[in-house]
Amino acid sequence: MQAAAPEADCLRLIGASDGAAIASCAADGDAEASYAPVLQHGGIFYVYVSGLAKHTGNLLCRRQGSLLFLGEASGNPFARPRASVSCTVAELEPDHPHYVELLDSLEARFGNVVGLLRTLPDFRLLALTPIRYHYVAGFGKAYTFAANPNEPAPSD
């Protein structure tokens, strides 16, 4: 099944991005904004993040978060294309069958720094599984759709 135009545009914007802003919430309700390089594989987003970072603790505690991908800035900054993806979060342990393969893919995409990070004991591989996408293509052009096209988009 081929994606409809807004969904396809949203997925193209995400595919052209090498990282995303991460929105997370602490147990006490304190909001946290951060950034991480992102690998998309099989419809799931993967981030390799330090366990010392606030966003990592928040994501693991709440098991949910959001990724924000920004399109190219041109014209009116209020109408900048962007895609927000609401996700569930799970940690992949080193004994997960795809753990090494995913870290190898991260290293191939983002370079030798990933090899260095792999030696640090505090780094965690998180899988962010999309629930819904919210895509803004410009003024009056906002679309929400479910990650699974066979389900209705959850309401905000």
CATH class of the structural domain 5-146: mainly beta
Q: Could you please report the per-residue DSSP string of the chain?
A: -PPPHHHHHHHHHHHT-SEEEEEEE-TTS-EEEEEEE-EEETTEEEEEEETTSHHHHHHHHHSEEEEEEE----S-GGG--EEEEEEEEEEEPTTSTTHHHHHHHHHHHH-THHHHHHTSTTEEEEEEEEEEEEEEEETTEEEEEESSTTSPPPP-
- Write out pLDDT tens, residues 82-107: 999 999 999 999 999 999 999 999 99
pLDDT of residue 152: 53
d(CA 44, CA 74): 29
Residues of the chain with pLDDT under 70: 1-4, 149-156
Count the residues in the chain.
156
The whole model's pTM is what? 0.90
pLDDT at site 123: 97
pLDDT tens-digit series, residues 59-78: 999 999 999 999 987 778 88
